[in-house]
Structure 1
Amino acid sequence: MNDYELHRETLAVTHGERGQTPAPGVEDVTIPVHLSSTYSIPDVDPDADLESLDPDAGEYLYSRLSNPTRNALEHRLAALEGGTHALAFVSGTAAIAATMTAVVHPGDHIVAFEDLYGGTKTMLNRLFAERLGVDVTFVDATDTDEVEAAMRDETRLVWMETPSNPLMHLCDIEAIAAIADDWNAVFGVDNTFLSPYFQNPLSLGADVVVHSTTKYLNGHSDSIGGAVVTDRDDIMDELAFLQRVGMGSMLSPFDSYLTLRGIKTLPLRMRQHEENAMEIARFLESHDAVTRVLYPGLESHPQHDLAARQQSGFGGVLSFELDTDPDGTAAFLGHLDEFPLAVSLGGVESLIEHPATMTHSPLSQADRDTLGISDSFLRLSVGVEHVDDLLSDLDEALATV
C-alpha cells in the first residue's frame, strides 16, 4: 500500500521510523535519539558533494546537515500533511522566517492576514518591511475580495493563518490559493491551530504549510520546534539551504525525538481536545458573565460553514470575552485552578492566556482595539482532562465576575 493511502492514525505512529535499522541484528521499534554531531565516511572522494548526501540511504556527514532522528520526523511530517518534503526547524518562528526568506527578496510584496500571531506580525513589520525592504500589506482575509484587491505585480507571497490567533477568524484556503496562482505568488498557511489531523492546506491549493511543532504536534509542552511542508521542489531547495547552511536553524535530535513521540498520539489527543472544547464553548456561550465566544465549531460563529467545509474538525482553541473590567478579569484568572495563566497552546494540559498583556502585547493599543482584543478578552487552550473538572473550575471562577 502506498504510504499516502494509509490513514493518518497509522502514519502518526509508524511513518519515518520503520526500516531505520541502527546496526545489524538490531530492530528498534522506535527510532533512538542520534546525538552524534558528526559521522565517519568510508573513504575520500574528491568528486563528492558532501552537502548532497542522501540520508535516506544512510549517508550522513554532520548533524547540522542531516540527522537520522530528525530525518525520521521530517518524513512523518510530510506524510501527515500529504506533502512531498518537510524540514524541521528550531522553532515555529524560525520555520516562518525561513519560508518567507526563501520566497521574497528586497522590493517584493507580501499580502498577509491582519489577524496574525503577534510574533509573526512583528517579524513582518520589523524584519521584512523595515530592514529587508519588503513591502507588506495586511488585509482582512475573511473577505477574499480584500486579498484580491491587495495583489499586485510585485506580490511574491500570500501569508495566512486559519483559524487565526486569537480571534478565530478563518480564510477560504481554496479561494485564496486560486488568487495566488493567478498572480504567480506563493501561498503559505500557518496550520498550527488545527494540526494536520483537522486541516490539510496543501490539498486545498496552498504551496507551503508551517507549524509550530511546540503546539499540537509535540502535544506535551516539553519541546520547542517548527516545521515546513511543501510539494514544490524549488521552495524545498531554498529552505534546505537556509535550514542547514544559511541560518543553521535545524531542530535538535532530542527535540526531534520528543516530537516524533508526541505525534504518535496526535489523533487521539485532537479528538479529545475538540470534544472538550465544544462542551466548554457551549457552556461559556450560555453564561451571563460572557459577552461573546469565538469557536468555529459553534453554529453562532460567522464562518462556521466555511470551517465545516475546509476542516475535518474544529480544534481545541477558543476565545471569549468577559462582561467586566480589567480588575474583574484579573479576579477571574486568579480563581482558576485547572487553567494556568501561560502562553502557548496545544499541550495535553489546559491553559488560559490574556492576549492584551501576553502574546499580543507587542502590538499598540490602537492595533489591539482595531482587532477587537480588549482587556477582558481571553484565549483558552483546552486540554484533555475530564471536561467536568474543567467546567466546574470555569463555573466557580465566573461566579466572581
Structure 2
Amino acid sequence: MKNYEFIESALIHGGIYGDERTGAVNTPVYQTSTYMQDGLGKNRGYEYSRTGNPTREALELLIAELENGDAGFAFASGMAAITAVLSLFKSGDRIVISSNVYGGTFRVLDKVFQNFGFHYTIADTTDLEALSKVLTPDVKAFLIESPANPLLTVTDIKAVAELARSKGALLVVDNTFSTPYIQRPLELGADIVLHSATKYLGGHSDLIAGLVVVRSKELGERLHFIQNATGGILQPFDSFLLIRSIKTLSVRMDRHVENTLEIVKLLKGNDAIKTVYYPGLPDAQGYDINQKQAKNGGAMISFELQDGYDIRKFFESLKLIALAESLGGVESLVCHPATMTHASIPKEIREKVGITDGLIRLSVGIEHGKDIAKDLEQAIREAKL
C-alpha cells in the first residue's frame, strides 16, 4: 500500500524502496552476474543478470510507476533503448518520425534499420492533417518527441495517439526533455515512452542510460524478450546511481525551470537575438497544447543570433557555460546542433525543418541564474563583429 500521493514522494519512495533484510534505505548494488539455484528449475526469482538483476529491477519498477505504465526496462544507453523499441517491428514496417528529432534516432533508422528492410517517413507531427496523409498501410508506429530536439516544437500527444490507434499503429514518445515530473505521455494515450536517462533523470553528467516504459502487459512481454535476447542492459551500479539521481529530480527540475524562465526573458529582451525557441512562451508554437499536456515548458532553449554576430566567437567566449554534447545535467551546457547533435542528418533536411547553421541549443543548469545570464550576455557582446 502506497503511503504517498504526489510524484515528489514517488521519486523517493517508488519502485522498491530500501532493503527489507537489513533495513538499508537504499536498494543495494547486486554486483553479480549469476545466482545460486536451489535445484533444477528452482531459483529465487533470478538466474542470470542479463535476464534480471535486483538493482536494475528496482529502477525498472520505479520508472514504470513514475510514468504510470505496466512495465519498465533499463538499458545501457538511450540509443540502446530506442534500438530495443524499434526491434519490436519487422522488415517491411514503416515508422513515422518527427521532422526535428534527435540525430541519433535518425541515424539508427537511416543507417542501421533500413539495412533490414525497415522504412521511415519524416513528417511534421504538429500538423495532424499532414500526418494523416502519410498514414500508409505499412505504418506501424509514430515515434515523436514533444518538445522536440532541438526546435522545441510541441506535438499534441493525445491527438496523435488517437490517430495512431485508429489505424492500428503504436505511439512511441521520447520524453527525455520533459521527464515524468513534467509530462506523462502514457496518460495521454501513448503506448511506449522512452528516455535518454543520461540527461535529466541522471542529472549529473556521470552516467549513460536509457529507460523504456510500456502501457500493456503484451508489449512488456515482447520488450523483455528483446532486452534479454539482445542484452543491452544497464549495469547494477549505474542502476543504483540512476535511482539515487531520480530522488532529487523534482528539486532539480524546479531550479532548472526557474533559471530557464529568467534566461528566456533575458534573450527575448536582447536586440542581438533573432529568434528564441521555448515552448513556455505564450507566442511559441504549440504553447496552448503544451500548457494542457505538460506542467511547464521545461529547461531547454534554442536561439539564433542576429546577422553581424560570429557564432564561433560566441561559443569561444563562454566562461561558465560549457560547449558540450548532451543536456540535462546540473551544469549549463550549450551546443551547436548542426555540427554536433544533429550532424548525422543531411544538411538539406536540417535546413528544411529549421535546424540552421546559426542555431544554438542551451541546456540551462542549476547554477545561480544571474551567473548564467551574465555569461551569456558577455559572450554575446564578444561575438559582435
Residues 123-164 of structure 1, C-alpha deviations (whole Å, 9 max, x = no match):
1112222x1112211111111111111112221111101111
- 1:18, distance to aligned residue in structure 2 (A): 2.4
Q: Aligned to 1:69, what secondary structure does the other structure show? A: helix
Report the equivalent of 1:150.
134
Report the equivalent of 2:203.
219
Residues 53-107 of structure 1, C-alpha deviations (whole Å, 9 max, x = no match):
7xxxx511111111111010001100110111000011111111111111x1111
Which consecutive residues of structure 2, in runs of 5 or more, have no partner in the other structure? none
Q: Does 1:237 align with 2:221?
A: yes
Aligned mate of 1:59, from 45, 54, 70: 45
- 1:357, distance to aligned residue in structure 2 (A): 1.0
**Which structure 1 residue ranges, 4+ long, deviate > 3 Å from structure 2?**
none
Report the equivalent of 1:13.
12
Figure out how many residues of one structure are paired with residues of the other and give that number: 383
Report the equivalent of 1:359.
341
Report the equivalent of 2:25.
29
Report the equivalent of 1:275.
258
Q: Does 1:393 align with 2:379?
A: no
Aligned mate of 1:114, from 77, 82, 99: 99
- 1:290, distance to aligned residue in structure 2 (A): 0.6
Please tell me whether the aligned partners of residues 97 and 120 of structure 2 are also in contact (alpha carbons under 8 angstroms). Answer: yes
Aligned mate of 2:146, from 162, 183, 188: 162
Which has the larger displacement, 294-303 or 182-191?
294-303
Please tell me whether the aligned partners of residues 71 and 215 of structure 2 are also in contact (alpha carbons under 8 angstroms). Answer: yes
CA–CA distance in 1 between the matches of 2:98 and 2:15?
A: 34
Aligned mate of 1:38, from 26, 30, 34: 34
TM-score normalised to the size of structure 2?
A: 0.96
Please tell me whether the aligned partners of residues 17 and 30 of structure 1 are also in contact (alpha carbons under 8 angstroms). Answer: no
CA–CA distance in 1 between the matches of 2:18 and 2:302?
A: 43
Q: Aligned to 1:27, what secondary structure does the other structure show? A: coil
Report the equivalent of 1:180.
164
CA–CA distance in 1 between the matches of 2:291 and 2:249?
A: 20
Q: Aligned to 1:125, what secondary structure does the other structure show? A: helix
CA–CA distance in 2 between the matches of 1:138 and 1:364?
A: 13
Q: Aligned to 1:136, what secondary structure does the other structure show? A: strand
Residues 367-394 of structure 1, C-alpha deviations (whole Å, 9 max, x = no match):
2211222222100000111101111111
CA–CA distance in 2 between the matches of 1:110 and 1:363?
A: 17
Counterpart AA for 1:16: G
CA–CA distance in 2 between the matches of 1:167 and 1:384?
A: 22
Task: Trace 1:175-324 onto structure 2 (pairs within 5 A).
Answer: 175-245=159-229, 247-324=230-307
Counterpart AA for 2:127: D
Counterpart AA for 1:272: R
Which consecutive residues of structure 1, in runs of 5 or more, have no partner in the other structure? none
CA–CA distance in 1 between the matches of 2:68 and 2:15?
A: 14
Q: CA RMSD in A?
A: 1.4
Q: Aligned to 1:229, what secondary structure does the other structure show? A: strand
CA–CA distance in 2 between the matches of 1:128 and 1:157?
A: 14
CA–CA distance in 2 between the matches of 1:230 and 1:17?
A: 19
CA–CA distance in 1 between the matches of 2:360 and 2:237?
A: 33
Counterpart AA for 1:37: S
Please tell me whether the aligned partners of residues 144 and 171 of structure 1 are also in contact (alpha carbons under 8 angstroms). Answer: no
Q: Aligned to 1:399, what secondary structure does the other structure show? A: helix
CA–CA distance in 2 between the matches of 1:198 and 1:312?
A: 5
Counterpart AA for 1:182: S
Report the equivalent of 2:315.
333
| Identity within the alignment, % | 42
CA–CA distance in 2 between the matches of 1:382 and 1:19?
A: 32
Report the equivalent of 1:72.
58
Please tell me whether the aligned partners of residues 189 and 209 of structure 1 are also in contact (alpha carbons under 8 angstroms). Answer: yes
Please tell me whether the aligned partners of residues 108 and 156 of structure 1 are also in contact (alpha carbons under 8 angstroms). Answer: yes
